[in-house]
Amino acid sequence: MADLTDLLVFSAIAAAAVCAFLYRAGLFRLGLSSEIQPSEQEKAVFLFEGQTLVDATIPAQQLISGSSDTTDDWHRLAIALSDRFENLLQNLSKLDVEPTIALRETKGSSSLIARRTGSRTRVVLLEAGAERPMAPVDHGLLMPPVETTVLRSMSQAAPFAMWKRESDGQISWANQAYLDLVKTYRNSGDTPVWPIPALFRQPDLGEAEDQSIRRIHLTRPNGEKASFTVTTLAHEGAHLCFATSADELVRAEEHLSNFVQTMTKTFADLPAGLAVFNRERQLTLFNPALTDLLQLDPAYLITRPRLQDFFDHLRENRKLPEPKNYRDWRERLTRLDTEAQEDRLRETWTLDNGLTYRVSGRPHADGALAFLVEDISSEVTLTRRFRQELDQSQSVLDGLEQAVAVFSPAGVLTQSNQAYTMLWETDPLTSLNDLTITDATRHWRDLCRPSPIWGEIRDFVHTIEERANWHDQVQMQNGQNLTLRCTPLSGGATMITFLEEPVIPNQSVIPSTNLVKSD
C-alpha cells in the first residue's frame, strides 16, 4: 500500500514538471508542435496554418501581443515587425513562389527567415547578438498589465482617429476609428487592408517643429467631402497623428464668411461714409462712400491709420471744420466709449466748399468705434430755401392792409399777418399752444356784436367736400364794420380775410341775414 502511495506522488510531481515545461516553452496554449525544437525556445519562432497562428514561443508571443487586435495573426506579425523590416508583407508574399525567404533588418543586423511547407509557414526572427534583449514593439508592454490593457482599450475606443506614421511615410499602427475611416473613404468593406493606407497627406515636420495642426479634406467615393483637423507630434523619429472632424467648424466659417460678404456688400452700397476703428483705435473697415465724401485716398486708408491721425489728416486737407479747441475735441473722440450719453457724437460739419455733413459716432461692446458721415447738403439747402420762402410769404402777408388768417384742414392756425395782430389785438405766433378755429371764433365773437356767422365759419373750415368762396359782414363792438371773406386753399386749408369798411355816422347794426357766395 505504501508503494502505491509513493507511485501516485511521483506521478503527480512528474505531471506538474511536464506542465511547467510546456508553459515555459509557450506551447501549452497553442499546442506542442514538433517543428519548434526546445533549443529554439529563446528565439522568436512562429508557426502559421495559413494566416492563423497555431504555435509560437514566449518571445514570439510577447512580440505580437502589442499589435492591434483588429486584424488576423498574419497581419499582426507584419504590424509588429514593419518598423524593422521594410515592405515585410510584400516580401512574405513571395513564399507563394519561393519556399524560403531571408530578410535583413533595415536599420540593424537581425534577420528574418520564413519557410513554407504546404499550408504551414514557419517564421524565425534571428537577433544580431545574444546581448540584445528581445524587446516588444509596443512599449506599453513595459507597463503594468492592467494599465496596458486600459490604454489599449482607450485607444481603440477613442472617437477620433489615431495612428503612427514612420519616417518613410508608412502607417505602422492605427486605432479602430482610423480603420473605420479607411473603410469609409477607400470603400474597402470589412476586409483588413495591409499596409494601412495613408488617408491624410501630411508633410514632414520641419527641423524646428515638434507639432503641427493642419486642416485636411477627404472625399468619399460618392463625392461627399469631409474636413478634419489633423494634429501631428514628433515622437522618437516617427510621428503620432490625431484627426478630429472639423465639419461643424467649416460650416460655421462658411456662414461667417457669407455674413461678412453680405455686410461688406451692404456697406459698399451705403450712400453714407462708414469708418470703424478697433479697440486699439486703428481703422479696420471703411466703405467707398467715405473716400468719395471726404475725398480721401484709399491708399492712405489701407495703411490703417489711428483715430487721431485720421482726424489730423482730415484737418490738414480742410475736410474738417475748425473747432474752438481742436485738441480737446480730438481727445473727446477717443473717450467716446466712456461717455454716458446715448448718442455719443452727433455734429454737423459745414465746410468751406459749401458742403454740409452730419457726423455721428457710437462705441460698440467690443471696444470698437464706428463713425457715420452723411452728406446733408441737399437737405440743408432745401431747408434754407423753404425757410426763405416762408419768410418771403410772411413778408408779403405783412404788407397787406387787410387782416389774414390761414387755417389747416384740421382747423389749426398756421399763418397770420401784422394787420391781423393789430385788428384782433393778439399775436398767435407768440402762443405756446396751437390756436384752433374754435378758439379764434370765440375771440372774434367777444370783440364783435352778436352774429350767427361764427358757427358757419367753423363748419366751412372743417368741411372736406368741394367748397366755394363766400363773404359776409360783421360789426365790431367799437362800431367798425368788417367784410369777412372765406377762401378755400389747396390741400384743404382755408384763408379768412378781414377788410375794414369806412365807418358811417349814426349807422345801425348791419344784420347778417343774406350770405353772398361767389364761385
According to the model, what pLDDT value does residue 74 have?
A: 84
Least confident of 161-170, 316-325, 498-507: 498-507
511-519: which pairs have CB atoms within 8 A and are 24 or more residues apart?
512/451, 512/452, 512/453, 512/472, 512/473, 512/474, 515/456, 515/470, 515/472, 516/470, 516/471, 516/472, 517/468, 517/469, 517/470, 517/471, 518/468, 518/469, 518/470, 518/471, 519/468, 519/469
Residue 113 in contact with residue 100, Cβ under 8 Å?
yes
Q: Starting at the earlier edge strand, list the strands of the sheet with 413-416.
A: 413-416, 403-407, 494-501, 481-488, 470-475, 516-517
User: Is the per-residue pLDDT at 279 higher than 80?
Assistant: yes
Least confident of 130-144, 282-296, 483-497: 130-144
Name the phi and psi angles at 380, rounded to 5.
Answer: -65, -40
According to the model, what pLDDT value does residue 83 have?
A: 80
Share of the chain above pLDDT 90, in %: 18
User: Is the per-residue pLDDT at 413 higher than 90?
Assistant: yes
445 DSSP 8-state letter:
H
State the cell numbers at 69: 487586435
Domains and CATH numbers, the chain: 25-139 (3.30.450), 158-249 (3.30.450.20), 270-375 (3.30.450.20), 394-517 (3.30.450.20)
Residue 198 in contact with residue 178, Cβ under 8 Å?
no
273 DSSP 8-state letter:
E
User: Quick one: pLDDT band at residue 12, thresholds 50, 70, 90?
Assistant: very low
User: Is the per-residue pLDDT at 169 higher than 60?
Assistant: yes
User: Quick one: pLDDT band at residue 41, thresholds 50, 70, 90?
Assistant: low
User: Is the per-residue pLDDT at 337 higher than 80?
Assistant: no
According to the model, what pLDDT value does residue 36 have?
A: 62
The better pLDDT of the pair 320, 339 is held by 320
The better pLDDT of the pair 501, 503 is held by 501
State the cell numbers at 102: 531571408
According to the model, what pLDDT value does residue 441 have?
A: 94
User: Quick one: pLDDT band at residue 381, thresholds 50, 70, 90?
Assistant: confident
According to the model, what pLDDT value does residue 482 have?
A: 92
What mean pLDDT do residues 325-344 have? 69
According to the model, what pLDDT value does residue 338 have?
A: 57
Residues in contact with 424: Cβ distance below 8 Å, sequence separation at least 6, in sequence order: 403, 443, 444, 447
- β-bridge partners, 238: 235
State the cell numbers at 135: 524587446
80 DSSP 8-state letter:
H
CA 429 from chain centre, in angstroms, equals 57
What is the average pLDDT score of the chain?
Answer: 78
What would the DSSP string read from start to end of 111-135?
EEEEEEETTEEEEEEE-S-TTS---
User: Is the per-residue pLDDT at 64 higher than 90?
Assistant: no
User: Is the per-residue pLDDT at 25 higher than 70?
Assistant: no
SS3 call for 413: strand
The better pLDDT of the pair 270, 2 is held by 270
According to the model, what pLDDT value does residue 225 have?
A: 85
User: Quick one: pLDDT band at residue 19, thresholds 50, 70, 90?
Assistant: very low
The highest-confidence range among 27-36, 190-199, 265-274, 493-502, by mean pLDDT, is 493-502
User: Quick one: pLDDT band at residue 70, thresholds 50, 70, 90?
Assistant: low
User: Quick one: pLDDT band at residue 443, thresholds 50, 70, 90?
Assistant: very high
450/439 Cα distance (integer angstroms): 17
According to the model, what pLDDT value does residue 6 have?
A: 46
CA distances from 94 to 170, 192, 319 (A): 20, 20, 85
User: Is the per-residue pLDDT at 353 higher than 60?
Assistant: yes
State the cell numbers at 344: 455719443
User: Is the per-residue pLDDT at 437 higher than 90?
Assistant: yes
User: Is the per-residue pLDDT at 368 higher than 50?
Assistant: yes
Please report which helix (H) or strand (E) contains residue 101, including its range: strand 100-104
Residue 241 in contact with residue 230, Cβ under 8 Å?
yes
